[in-house]
Amino acid sequence: MFKYPPGSDMAGNGDTQWYFSQVKGTLDDDVTEADIISCVEFNHDGDLLATGDKGGRVVIFQRDPVSKSVIPRRGEYNVYSTFQSHEPEFDYLKSLEIEEKINKIRWLRRKNQAHFLLSTNDKTIKLWKVSERDKKVEGYNTKEETGQARDPSLITQLRVPVIKPMELMVEASPRRIFANAHTYHINSISVNSDQETYLSADDLRINLWHLEITDQSFNIVDIKPTNMEELTEVITAAEFHPVECNLFVYSSSKGTIRLCDMRAAALCDRHSKLFEEPEDPTNRSFFSEIISSISDVKLSNSGRYMISRDYLSVKVWDLHMETKPIESYPVHEYLRSKLCSLYENDCIFDKFECCWNGNDSAIMTGSYNNFFRMFDRTTKKDATLEASRDVAKPKTLLKPRKVCTGGKRKKDDISVDCLDFNKKILHTAWHPLENIIAVAATNNLFLFQDKF
């Protein structure tokens, strides 16, 4: 389906077909709330894939080295490390429970043997170091092998400690904890291209942090009105530019995206650019404001474009043109007639994420009924695919799915009235260099790839 420039790492022969590779997590019907995946993120070379869940755990998968070297290459991942990132807390001042659910994970670029990532729940961001240990020291002078201190009077000779090989251990340790800076729930974190600072955004404010300093942050955006009754919009997502360290964007519940330049002022309340599409009067309805709220914004790898996801569509913006998007892709237009029932069951407030492929030629985002959508920007082709237990067999080719809205229905089509709105794909990730995708479906992580 997707065409890539010849010679690129993603170049395929014509149209890409997607095959099932792996599924992580049990395929049972009864799902524990804590096991529901809440974020998915590949690291910069795609060798590691991290997921966070509602139980506050982070699971890191590592690419199987053999799957990289065989021809054709396979995208197989094994569990590398699992750790409890956040615990449930209680804010006694406000009498509020703070969920342990991981809202976002962001990898830092690798500088040494260890890997570093940021994870956040509603209130607290943590910097984790993930490192390997395959050697141990034996023969201490002042302590036994068990760790107990030795009686100094019994030490009669000096021993030279010896380093011995041991079974590989992967350790995750919290290196920094960034707390007490957000009054509202954190929805985004983004590492700057300088790899020294990062931003965190909640409903009304965006803070700038230095990775080495935990006790202070700079407030760079504050949209909180003096009188909260005058509140008309909230921040829904924020991200740094991948190349220019002074630029960042943030989206709002009013369907606008603001680009800010930190060189212009310390407090970026005045944006440099405002991206907004005028509303189509023919589609005006009671739900217009809700469905125009942007749930995710992602800058392209090149830094020239960005995508924004609202309830019914994905839009591609050129950073040089604010007046309207250069491309617009309907995700599930057939739901426009169902907005009333989606409002009643709260699905209309679902926050779908979106992502680019490695060379910005394709976009992926989720939908209901465990469907996810892919759009090729070059050929303008699109596909609806399904992440379900029916395809969870080795090398199964994913067949395109079609949703019909009344009238005659073909054999493999599914009626819009039969869609399961409890099965939703909110979180997806695309390998930065290859056609391997990770799709979170409730408590399962599906991995698909383009060829076997």
- Nearest residue to 354 via CA among 377, 334, 336, 335: 377
Relative to beta strand 48-53, strand 37-42 is antiparallel
Res 219: pLDDT: 96
Q: Give CA–CA dist 160/179, Å, rounded.
A: 43
Res 10: pLDDT: 46
- Nearest residue to 53 via CA among 437, 442, 367: 442
Backbone angles phi, psi at 291, to 5 degrees: -75, -15
Cα 417 from chain centre: 30
Q: Is the dihedral of CA 191, 192, 196, 199 positive or negative?
A: negative
Res 411: pLDDT: 76
Relative to beta strand 327-330, strand 354-356 is unpaired
Any idea how long the chain is? 452
Torsion angle of C-alpha atoms 306, 309, 312, 316, degrees rounded to 10: 0
Q: Which residues contact 185 (CB under 8 A, 6 or more apart)?
A: 103, 122, 123, 202, 203
Q: For the segment 48-103, what is each residue's pLDDT rounded down to a tens digit?
A: 999 999 999 999 999 999 888 888 888 899 999 999 999 999 888 888 899 999 99
Contact 292, 255 (CB under 8 A): yes
Q: For the segment 7-47, what is each residue's pLDDT rounded down to a tens digit?
A: 344 433 347 799 999 999 988 878 899 999 999 999 999 99
Contact 250, 309 (CB under 8 A): no
Name residues of the chain where pLDDT drops below 50: 1-14
Res 67: pLDDT: 87
Res 452: pLDDT: 61
Q: Which residues contact 411 (CB under 8 A, 6 or more apart)?
A: none
Residue 394 DSSP class: T
Contact 174, 86 (CB under 8 A): no
Res 64: pLDDT: 93
**Integer angstrom CA distances of residue 275 from 168, 207, 295, 317:** 50, 22, 15, 8
DSSP H or E run through 178: strand 162-178
